[in-house]
Structure 1
Amino acid sequence: MTHTSTDQPARRPSGAIVPVLAFAGIVVAVMQTLLVPVIKDLPQLLSTEPSNATWVLTSTLLSGAVATPIMGRLGDLFGKRRMLITSLSIMVVGALVSALTSDLLTMIAGRTLQGFAMGAIPLGIGLMRDMLPREKLGSAMALMSSSIGVGGGLALPLAALVAQHADWHALFYGAAGLGVLAIVLTLLVVPESPMRAEGTFDVLGAIGLSAGLVLFLLPITKGSDWGWTSGTTLGLFAAAAVVLLLWGVMELRVKAPLVDLRTTARPAVLFTNLASIMVGVSFYVVSLVLPQLLQLPKATGYGLGQSMVTAGLLVAPLGLTMMFTAPVYARLSAKYGPKVTLILGMLIIGIGYGAGLGLMSAAWQSLVIAVVLGAGIGLAYSSLPALIVGAVPASETGAANGLNTLMRSIGTSVSSAVIGMVLANTANHVGGVAIPTMHGFRVSFMIATGAVAVGLLMALFLPKPNRAPQLNFSSEEEANLERAEEVLRAFRGRVLGADGSPVARAKVTLIDRRGRQAGATLSSEDGSYVIAVPSEGAYVLAARAVGHGPLASSASHAGDEVAVDLDLSLPGETVSA
């Protein structure tokens, strides 16, 4: 797969594009955090059993996991801005559906639609890569990637305030209003990216991945209710393994797959995604533990006795610190590279959880933990999209970042299931009510520390960059570099007609030995063309133009940084009798 530019002129991006896209990411985080203050009250609010009420949260998780890679691929094919607006629009519809009902099934349907907003994060990162100069890209992607934490940190106290003093349905009206504002700002400020991936949408691949993810995530989120060794749980895990294996085999054989598994298997992509799972685990543990510790009554002997709103305010610095680390990350990454910043972030997270084991006796200590963990998670989250963007072609940015966001979601899902099980199994039961214990909180922090250690190991396995970080270039230097790179490791020449005259705007397509498109370009007014070669090997250059017959010419490239000259002479157009 490769990328091409659309023929339509694009608006020049303004300086407001980064805050607008980051705001869209914050809106997504608000949607995710919306119901945290009322989780324990959902069975009463929806007149249902606790095990049924959890579907309100599970449905959003499942739809978000499915939608994230699919919306990323659709953005690569049909326009990232278009798919961003589509994702936010579906979220708004879902929020309004939930705002107007207290029926369980209707609420689940609304929350399922809201999960589609998760695609906004990779789409926003893809738009930034396509339109921003390199010197601004690092901090912009860092802010976009950290917007999940920022939105969650800001939403928690605000949602708690609304839940305490108004009808809980107002939470959904607020989310819908924010979604509409994000759509309007995107329409006004963000231009459509001219970059498009070649190929078609892999419908079977989307169905297969969706089925595999649902079969995998469903028992993770419901295993504690069904029993981890029950036939239903084990059967779904087995079915997920079979479906995902068959899906992988199919994706390797498709010319334009939903997820290019060959690219995903590159060490730079593979180890980044594995580290992302661990970062997701570490982020969610603190989000689960601190609010409960702060709100437990002091009569327990370890609870800190804070109100819902106060607890939200004390945890809010977790997200705010993530936002403030974005410019710090940009400077560190420009000097040392995103691999180093990821390792540094993981080390800070480990220090935060290690210190947290002894800092649980006062509210101010929770604030310190939130700040330290926010700094580490912010650095780690900011590094992930930069590592992915640096390892995949521009045509795969949306799908690759969608998959990376999915890995983080899987991490938070696993974290939620494991920590929920730990807290339940270590709880004290008083009057039929399960009360988490300090032992359970400390075990949860130890699990997070272990996840950080595994993530740090994955980060150490990341390959060393072959060249200096790209973010050091200015816009002018970037343009000069791209012009220079065009004539290296490429085929170049002129497209000529049957009479030897140059042919302008002829489409030249590069096809690799597997029959897949590896590049495409249009000849200039003097008939000249340059088309980059991804690697050494045998290729076919296909050329066609209006008024001329098509041409297919075989050629080989040694893979070194030398352009191979090849003129393409189109035959005269064949006229049928």
Structure 2
Amino acid sequence: MTAQRARRERMVVGLLAASGMLTSLQFTSMVPVLPLIPEILDTNAADASWLITVTLLVGVVGTPVMTRLADMHGRRRMLLASMALLAAGSIIAAAIPSFTAVLLGRALQGFGTSVVPIGIALLTTLVSRQRAIMGIALMSGTLGIGSALGLTLSGPLAEWGGLPAIFWTTALVSVAFCLLIRLWVDEVPLRTPGRFDYVGSALLAIALTALLLCISRGQIWGWTSPVSFALIATVIVSSIVWGAWELRHPNPVIDVRTAVRAPIAPINIASFFATFGMYANHLLTTQEALAPASTAFGLAAPVAAAGLFVLPSALTMILLAPVAARAISRLGARFALMFGAGIMTLAFLFRMVVHSEPWSVATGSALVGCGVAFAFAAMPSLITASVPRDQVAAANGVNSVVRSLSGAVAAALFAFVIATLPSMTDAAFLSHTALTISFGFSALCGMITVILALALRVPDRKDPQ
């Protein structure tokens, strides 16, 4: 390989990984400033929480569509479209100081979720095998890295320039990335022929929207309320109709037969549990940092500093991505998933026993990040090796949806536990018992991932293309 080609490949990997990190950052960027939103945008706390829900909702619904279009009409083209929508949403939210405008902007930001699976698909065709493995590991890890950085950076940005500073920063960086993608990333000739499945996409959007609304808003509306029951019924009916339609359609938005067969289904199930552990790490670390000392475990850190306790997790994911890539290259992605999930299990068991001190919180966060680095690097490699080359973006898009839903479940379960087992001294935080149970449950999720990884049988593909 020439020096010029190697330099271009490094640029492509770095650019796509940075783009993925920027889009992943959007999911948590509002969390530290959420208590300030009612006053800033003249709304109430319940409506303010939609600024988080709407981004996740659009991401979950839009990703299967965008990744399918990428396989059909061009991966670079749809990557640019996703980044452009992210930039447009950020500009709208930054320039217009109203709740409606910020909500619209946050919705458009959700389309950025598809950047990671489309970027992974591009890497399998644009760079050499070894660099693709490293790039895919880094790209997949951006979900964890970006979400951790979102918790870390948004507080200081808001203190420096208010809420618009968060959105202007995202807008400037995303516009710059669009220009760099046009300059450095080539389009790939690989295409999936056929017409786009509009009916299947609409049915899938209805099912996913109802499911995510039920998961994310059920605690607020009440799990036994008529609205929740109506959403559950909508999920069941639309899913059945969608599945029947997809089985008959020649060009389905998601190939159901491929999605439910081994090893794709077990990989996605393992992804769900591994991602749950990552989000649990963020949520519980932030809980420990912010909780008052009266809870018997809280560090009483200010909001702007609380994200610093999540930072070790992001740093370990960044530093270990090349190590995880080498492990995948030499020992296989199945081993990397099993190893990473094992580390996560042990890290949560450590946190279950040792907490309440700054060093233990930071160390526990970093140890979970180590496990996430290996597990997240493995998942897209396993998916890519298990599907036809012209379905790589769509298959990784489904995996991305699974991970997003896992994050929604983690947040909903976290809210449920706080409501059920609050601290006696401050109802906004977990009790010490609930914190310990949460760490134990997260360790169980890691153990389930290990078992699923042990049972995987993935075909051997000599190259990632």
TM-score, with normalisation over the residues of structure 2?
0.95
Aligned residue among 367, 372, 381 for 2:376: 381
SS at match of 1:209: helix
Distance 1:429 1:207 in 2: 46
Alignment RMSD: 1.8
Deviation of 1:438 after TM superposition, in Å, equals 1.9
Q: Does residue 462 of structure 2 align to residue 470 of structure 1? A: yes
**1:157 alignment counterpart:** 152
Distance 2:160 2:292 in 1: 21
Deviations, residues 530-551 of structure 1 (Å, cap 9, x unaligned): xxxxxxxxxxxxxxxxxxxxxx
Deviation of 1:265 after TM superposition, in Å, equals 2.1
SS at match of 1:360: coil
Q: Is the 8 A contact 2:148 2:282 kept in 1?
A: no
Deviation of 1:256 after TM superposition, in Å, equals 0.8
Aligned letter for 2:314?
A: G
Distance 2:275 2:411 in 1: 10
Change (3 A) 1:25 1:255: same
Aligned residue among 347, 353, 356 for 1:358: 353
Distance 2:34 2:436 in 1: 22
| Bigger share in helix | 2
Distance 1:300 1:466 in 2: 50
Q: Is the 8 A contact 1:252 1:261 kept in 2?
A: yes
**2:165 alignment counterpart:** 170
Deviation of 1:315 after TM superposition, in Å, equals 1.2
Distance 1:185 1:441 in 2: 44
Q: Is the 8 A contact 2:386 2:459 kept in 1?
A: no
**1:344 alignment counterpart:** 339
Aligned letter for 2:428?
A: A
Deviations, residues 452-487 of structure 1 (Å, cap 9, x unaligned): 222223222211x454x625x9xxxx9xxxxxxxxx
Q: Does residue 448 of structure 2 align to residue 448 of structure 1? A: no
Aligned letter for 2:441?
A: I
Q: Which has the larger radius of gyration?
A: 1
Aligned letter for 1:456?
A: V
Distance 2:406 2:257 in 1: 23
Deviation of 1:25 after TM superposition, in Å, equals 0.4
Deviations, residues 68-101 of structure 1 (Å, cap 9, x unaligned): 1111111101111110110011111111111133
**1:500 alignment counterpart:** none
Q: Is the 8 A contact 1:277 1:411 kept in 2?
A: yes
Distance 2:408 2:204 in 1: 17
**Number of positions where the alignment pairs a residue of Structure 1 with one of Structure 2:** 459
Deviations, residues 479-530 of structure 1 (Å, cap 9, x unaligned): xxxxxxxxxxxxxxxxxxxxxxxxxxxxxxxxxxxxxxxxxxxxxxxxxxxx
Distance 2:168 2:9 in 1: 30
Q: Does residue 164 of structure 2 align to residue 140 of structure 1? A: no
Distance 2:294 2:247 in 1: 59
Deviation of 1:191 after TM superposition, in Å, equals 0.8
SS at match of 2:33: helix
Q: Does residue 222 of structure 2 align to residue 227 of structure 1? A: yes
**2:72 alignment counterpart:** 77
| Bigger share in strand | 1
Deviations, residues 285-333 of structure 1 (Å, cap 9, x unaligned): 1111111211223344431122233321221111121122221112211
**What does residue range 151-550 of structure 1 map to in structure 2 within 5 Å?**
151-428=146-423, 434-463=428-457, 465-467=458-460, 470=462
**1:567 alignment counterpart:** none
Distance 1:29 1:356 in 2: 25
Distance 1:448 1:128 in 2: 32
Aligned letter for 1:66?
A: V
Distance 1:223 1:155 in 2: 25
Distance 1:35 1:253 in 2: 41
Q: Is the 8 A contact 1:423 1:441 kept in 2?
A: no
Q: Does residue 37 of structure 2 align to residue 37 of structure 1? A: no
Taking CA–CA contacts closer than 8 Å with sequence separation of 6 or more, which of the two structures ends up with the larger relative contact order?
2
Q: Is the 8 A contact 2:125 2:188 kept in 1?
A: yes
Distance 1:13 1:130 in 2: 14
Deviation of 1:46 after TM superposition, in Å, equals 2.6
Distance 2:450 2:410 in 1: 17
Q: Is the 8 A contact 1:129 1:137 kept in 2?
A: yes
Deviation of 1:163 after TM superposition, in Å, equals 1.9
Distance 2:436 2:40 in 1: 32
SS at match of 1:196: coil
Which structure 2 residue ranges, 5 or more long, are not aligned?
A: 1-6
Deviation of 1:184 after TM superposition, in Å, equals 1.3
Aligned letter for 1:366?
A: V
TM-score, with normalisation over the residues of structure 1?
0.77
Q: Is the 8 A contact 2:424 2:431 kept in 1?
A: no
SS at match of 2:10: coil
Distance 1:318 1:285 in 2: 12
Deviations, residues 107-152 of structure 1 (Å, cap 9, x unaligned): 2211111100001000000000112222222111001101122223
Distance 1:448 1:328 in 2: 24
Distance 2:334 2:341 in 1: 11
Q: Using the aligned pairs only, state the percent identity.
A: 32
Q: Does residue 50 of structure 2 align to residue 47 of structure 1? A: no
Deviation of 1:429 after TM superposition, in Å, equals 6.2
Distance 1:362 1:428 in 2: 18
Aligned letter for 2:438?
A: S
**1:109 alignment counterpart:** 104
Change (3 A) 1:428 1:45: farther
Q: Is the 8 A contact 2:417 2:430 kept in 1?
A: no
Deviations, residues 177-214 of structure 1 (Å, cap 9, x unaligned): 11111111111111111211111211111111111100
SS at match of 1:197: coil
Which structure 1 residue ranges, 5 or more long, are not aligned?
A: 1-11, 479-577
Aligned letter for 2:454?
A: L
Distance 2:430 2:459 in 1: 49
Deviation of 1:263 after TM superposition, in Å, equals 1.4
Deviation of 1:44 after TM superposition, in Å, equals 2.6
Change (3 A) 1:51 1:291: same
Distance 2:324 2:118 in 1: 21
Q: Is the 8 A contact 2:20 2:139 kept in 1?
A: yes
Distance 1:83 1:24 in 2: 13
